[in-house]
Amino acid sequence: MWKELENKLNKSGRKWEPCEGYMSDRSAKLFCEKCGKSVGMHDITYTNLESIMYCGDCVQEYIKECPIKLDCGTVISDHGAFVEMEYTDNYYSRMVVDKTCYFNKKGRYIKAKGKRYYI
CB of 53 to Zn ion, least distance (A): 9
First-to-final CA distance of the chain: 36
Burial class (CB in 10 A: 0-12, 13-18, 19+), 41: middle
Bridge partner list, 98: 84
Query: Could you say whether residue 81 binds Zn ion (CB under 5 A)?
Result: no
CB of 31 to Zn ion, least distance (A): 8
Residue 56, Cβ neighbours under 10 Å: how many? 12
Query: Could you say whether residue 55 binds Zn ion (CB under 5 A)?
Result: yes
Query: Could you say whether residue 58 binds Zn ion (CB under 5 A)?
Result: yes
Query: Could you say whether residue 32 binds Zn ion (CB under 5 A)?
Result: yes
Query: Could you say whether residue 97 binds Zn ion (CB under 5 A)?
Result: no
Residue 66 DSSP label: S
**Vertex 87, ends 82 and 91: CA angle to 5°?**
140
H helices of 1-119, where? 3-12
Stretch that binds Zn ion, among 6-14, 24-32, 45-53, 64-72 (CB under 5 A): 24-32
Residue 3, Cβ neighbours under 10 Å: how many? 7
Query: Could you say whether residue 59 binds Zn ion (CB under 5 A)?
Result: no
Count residues near Zn ion (CB under 5 A): 6
Query: Could you say whether residue 14 binds Zn ion (CB under 5 A)?
Result: no
CB of 115 to Zn ion, least distance (A): 28
